[in-house]
Amino acid sequence: MAVTGKWTAEEIPDQHTRIAIVTGANSGLGRIVARELARHGAKVIIASRDRAKGAEAAKAIETALPSSTVEAAQLDLADVSSIRAFADGIRGGNDYIDLLINNAGIMAAPYRRTVDGFELHFGTNHLGHFALTALLLPLLYERPDARVVTVSSNNHKAGHIRFDDLQGEHRYSRWGAYAQSKLANLLFAFELDRRLKAGGWRLISVAAHPGYSATNLQLSGPPLQERLVMRLTNRLFAQSAEMGALPLLYAATAPDLRGGSYVGPDGVGEMRGHPALVQATRQAYDEEAARRLWDISERLTGVTYDFRAPAARPARR
């Protein structure tokens, strides 16, 4: 499928009866994605680490769009127990979901570890979403046009999966850790789609990136000196967050999008522009690396995938 014309959020199909979860939607790109999905009729669940900020975002969207339905729920992707609690709450309150948008992330932060001992970028950006998707998978089964959208970055092009040092224990670079996590996002998204196809699922997995967009991501993780530089470059070179959200919205809603697609801006270097189908680096399509990363991710998180139909699974105890 090719993207024709300059696609905008006005072209989002009717989303009534659909339920969407957007991680990290209390601010930035995720908040815009949540707002536009709600504008077009979806029930949206804002999943964020800060409960108060998530509730504020939900209230703001409902105030601006009185007919919308937006809820907030706490989710800390750096804590597997929080991910399990969030998934339990979603399963307890919803018979299904249609969209899971794995958007939340951190960028270029100093070396830290998650609650479970994972390097922060790898643990939050990749492992957290890997575990969340597995736990919510049964709710996406057999929903028409259901999708998992995983948000990557142009920075994945600088990434390498360092299987001998995934946690950055021997050599750590803030930007290298971020790039590795964004490459891991793509390996996961494409491998998930291959496994869904092999299991006969209607659900598809796609990926998207926002190009160079002015958001609070650049101003929250890096040290002060870099934040000051990026504040300036955001003003001079970045496109708006509204434009950056378009590839994510296209990946989530465009009819007939094929599983395994990757959507980004159509401008030079995929830095700016309207949504288009783009190509990731060759490393992102490495099936052997994807399988290896998948096995490691299951072992680290303790969360395993089950691609059998939900009715065929053993009852939960």
Residues 6+ apart with CB under 8 A from 213: 29, 238, 239, 240, 241, 243, 244, 245
Q: Cα 277 vs. chain centroid, distance in angstroms?
A: 17
- The burial of 160, by beta-carbon neighbours within 10 Å (0-12 exposed, 13-18 middle, 19 or more buried), is given as exposed
Q: Which two tokens stand for residue 17?
A: 């009866």
**Gap between the Cα atoms of 86 and 206, Å rounded:** 23
Q: How many residues does the chain have?
A: 317
Residues forming the active site: 178
For the sheet containing 262-265, what is the strand order? 69-74, 43-48, 19-23, 99-102, 147-151, 204-208, 262-265, 275-277
